[in-house]
Amino acid sequence: MKLSDIIEQYIQQVFAEENTVELKRSELATMFNCVPSQINYVISTRFIPELGFYVESRRGGGGYIKISRIDLSKTDYLYDILDKIDDKLSQSVVDIYLKDFIRYNMLDEKAANLIRVALSDKSLIRVDKQKRDRVRADIFKCLIVNLD
Amino acid sequence: MKLSDIIEQYIQQVFAEENTVELKRSELATMFNCVPSQINYVISTRFIPELGFYVESRRGGGGYIKISRIDLSKTDYLYDILDKIDDKLSQSVVDIYLKDFIRYNMLDEKAANLIRVALSDKSLIRVDKQKRDRVRADIFKCLIVNLD
DNA sequence: ATGTATAATGGTCAGAGAAAGTCAAACGTT
DNA sequence: AACGTTTGACTTTCTCTGACCATTATACAT
């Protein structure tokens, strides 16, 4: 498993117990034996505002990074996502969304997998490459509205 | 025996034990002492959707190629369908298939609905109209081999 | 108290690294 | 000659690193 995945897992695990995660960047970096900026990478690719996470931090002595999550109803959460996806969506971001949907029981593995497949580059192979992320976004938005 | 055949055999052998094969392209290439793109050749000529295989992959650090296979009990039926759908697929024909899938318990209503939405004209609004049935066919084929 | 240096954090971004994909040319077989 | 196979140069995507920057707290001098 990739380092980023391991770090993500660790943070998610804390989230499972607490409603907010406060961490020290340099400590985490030491813990996972990587450079501090790796932590930023993990956060910026996985704990994204599109999923309702927001991140605060403070530098200097006693600095920290705090990740919290807006507790939205399912409907609001989906609306929020609809709002934030503009008109392009990559395959890897779809994966991130789906993982989240599963975590919050909005989808089962099977359904998530169907969506993943439908939105894969494989499926969309005949759509012009420049248009693909746009079509993906369209399909995804349609699907979101129909989740229930 | 040709190299491609040997590599195919190797992958098939893993399939005999597992239901899905996850491999590292460069590792395999080293293992069989060939260039990495040879692996792509083997996959693209032998593990094709028409034969009931589905391939996903990821680039970058920790990348992989994952090949999965459709459920054997449904192979004949699905193979038939794959065969019949050649290049184009309309929304209404999708509906007919989906109804069948539900009748044969290959899908529940919820999943069928997801597929219906994903393949609707609304989702595919930005795909050129002349191309739409073709893209729909592509997506549907990918989905079919992932029913399980 | 007030201002200033220093230490302790975290942020950013470009580039290196680690895979996999593509495509056309060369090579072999039939 | 036609077809299938093998190869390698070039591309794309994702991850990881490090040098340099910005901010905050604290200690120290006045």
pLDDT of B49:
85
pTM of the model: 0.91
Assign B71 a pLDDT band (cuts: 50, 70, 90).
Answer: low
**Are B127 and A125 a contacting pair at CB < 8 A?**
no
Q: Which residue has the higher pLDDT, A85 or A3?
A: A3
Task: Give just the sign of the alpha carbon dihedral B82, B88, B94, B97.
Answer: negative
Tokens of A72: 């939205």
Write out pLDDT tens, residues B125-145: 999 999 999 999 999 999 988
Of A1, A113, A142, the CB nearest to B146: A113
pLDDT of B69:
87
Of B113, B115, B127, the CB nearest to A135: B127
Tokens of B51: 């034969």
Lowest mean pLDDT among A44-53, B77-86, B114-123: B77-86
Write out pLDDT tens, residues A98-145: 999 999 899 999 999 999 999 999 999 999 998 999 999 999 999 999
Write out pLDDT tens, residues B9-58: 999 999 999 989 999 999 999 999 999 999 999 999 999 988 889 999 99
The yes-or-no verdict on residue A30 having pLDDT over 60 is: yes
DSSP string computed for B70-134 = --GGGHHHHHHHHHH--S---HHHHHHHHHHHHHTTSS-HHHHHHHHHHTSTTTTTTS-HHHHHH
Lowest mean pLDDT among A7-11, A15-19, B74-78: B74-78
Chain B touched by A117 (CB under 8 Å): yes
Q: Is the CB of A34 under 7 A from strand D?
A: yes
pLDDT of A42:
98
How far is the C-alpha of B43 from the C-alpha of B146, rounded, in Å? Answer: 17
Assign B83 a pLDDT band (cuts: 50, 70, 90).
Answer: confident
**Are A122 and B55 a contacting pair at CB < 8 A?**
yes
Tokens of B139: 């997506």
Lowest mean pLDDT among A29-38, A75-84, B34-43, B82-91: B82-91
DSSP string computed for A25-64 = HHHHHHHTTS-HHHHHHHHHHHS-GGGTEEEEEE-STT-E
Nearest Cα of chain B lies from the Cα of A64 at a distance, in angstroms, of 28
Distance B77 CA to C11 C1' (A): 56
pLDDT of B30:
98
Sheet with B20-23: list strands edge to edge: B20-23, B64-69, B53-58
Percentage of residues in chain B having pLDDT higher than 70 = 96
DSSP H or E run through B34: none
What distance lies between CA A14 and its chain's CA centroid? 16
Tokens of A47: 């704990």
pLDDT of B146:
84
**Are A115 and B111 a contacting pair at CB < 8 A?**
no
pLDDT of B73:
63
Tell the burial category of B58 from Cβ atoms under 10 Å away from its Cβ (0-12, 13-18, 19+): middle
Write out which nucleotides of chain D lie closer than 7 A to a protein Cβ: 5-9, 12-19, 22-26
Write out pLDDT tens, residues A50-88: 999 999 999 999 999 999 998 889 999 999 999 988 788
Lookup result for tokens 């897992």: A9
How far is the C-alpha of A15 from the C-alpha of A71, rounded, in Å? Answer: 13
The yes-or-no verdict on residue A45 having pLDDT over 60 is: yes
